[in-house]
Amino acid sequence: MSDFETVLFSNDSSYGGISFIVNHIEDSCTILVHSVRKDFDSMIDNKFYYNKNNKLCLDILSKSKRIIVFGAISLNSINLSNYKDKELILVITDSTFLKKNTNINNFLINNRNIKVLIMPDLIPFIDKKIKYKPYFQHIDIDINQQIKKYEELTFSHSPGLKYKSNLKGSKFIEDTLKDQKLIVIHNKTWSECIEIKKKTHIFIDQMIINNEYKYAGGIGKSGLESILLKNILITSAPPLITEPYFDNPPSINIHPKELKTTINKLINNPDKMKEMSQKQYEWAKKYTSLEFVKNNILH
C-alpha cells in the first residue's frame, strides 16, 4: 500500500517525538531516512526506510496530501520545494537549525507555504519574517501511574548519545554535583531511561557553557519526560516564551554558575520542592498531552 493522506518524514525516529505521535494521526505513515534508534522504530506501525526503498518512498510522498517533516536535519533528504501542491509542515527541534541557520531561514522565507513549528529554545534563531508556532512534543507516558522515589534525594541527567561530546554540559553537571547522588543516564533504551527517572527527584536537563552558536539551552524530550515523572526540572536557558499559544513552562531556568546555589536552596526547602514539582507536572500534563500536541501540529 502506498496511498496515505499524511506522511511523517524524518532523518530517524529520534526527532521531535515522531514515534509517539505518528500512530495517532489518521491515514498516515512514516518515512525514516535511517534506522538509528531501534526502540523508537519499534513504536511506529506503518514505516518505510528511505535509503532501503527510495522508489516506493518517493511514490508515497507524491501521492500524499500532507507532509510533516520532523527535524531540520531531515531537510538534507527531502526538497520540500518539489511538493508545493501539498500541505507542508516543518517541525524544528534540532541543532542542524543552528548549524545551517542562514540557509534554512532563507529557505523558509522563500517558501512561505511551509507551516513552521519550533522548539522554544530555538525561537531566538528564527528570522522575524517567518511565522511560527512554538512546539513541545507529546510524551507517551502513563500520567496516572504510581511513582515511587528513592528515599535519598537523587538527581538525574540524561545526555544519551551526546554524553561523549559533552553537548549538554554533562562534565560540568557531574563536577558540580559530585557531593550529591547523581545518576547520569546513557547507553540505555527509552524504557530503561523512564524507569530511572521515575525514582529520582531533580533532573538537570542541560548546562550549556560557551556554545559556538550562542545557544544557551532549553527543555528537550528528556526534560519533558522528567517533569511528567514528577522530577523538578532545572535547565540552562533564558525564559522560554510560548505565550500567547500556551502558558510559558515553569521550569527553573538558570545560568550554569547558579546551579550549586539553586540546588542548595531546593534542598533546604522541601515544601518548595513539592510545590515546584507539582506546578511543572500540571503544566506538562496539559501541554505535552496527545490531544494538545496533535492539534498544535495539524491546525
The cell 546555589 sits on which residue? 261
Cα angle 42, 43, 47; round to 5: 75
Average pLDDT over all residues of the chain: 94
Would you say residue 99 has pLDDT above 90? yes
Distance CA 119, CA 236 (A): 15
Distance CA 215, CA 81 (A): 29
Burial 171-193 (b: 16+ CB within 10 A, else e): ebbeebbeeeebebbeeeebeeb
pTM, full prediction: 0.94
Provide the percentage of residues in the chain whose pLDDT is more than 90.
88
End-to-end Cα spacing for the chain: 27
Would you say residue 1 has pLDDT above 70? no
Distance CA 23, CA 263 (A): 39
Q: Name the pLDDT band for 273 (thresholds 50, 70, 90).
A: very high
Helix axes 290-298, 270-287, angle to 10 degrees: 50
130-183 tens-digit pLDDT: 999 999 999 999 988 899 999 999 999 998 776 777 889 999 999 999 999 999
Q: Which pLDDT belongs to residue 184?
A: 95
Would you say residue 17 has pLDDT above 80? yes
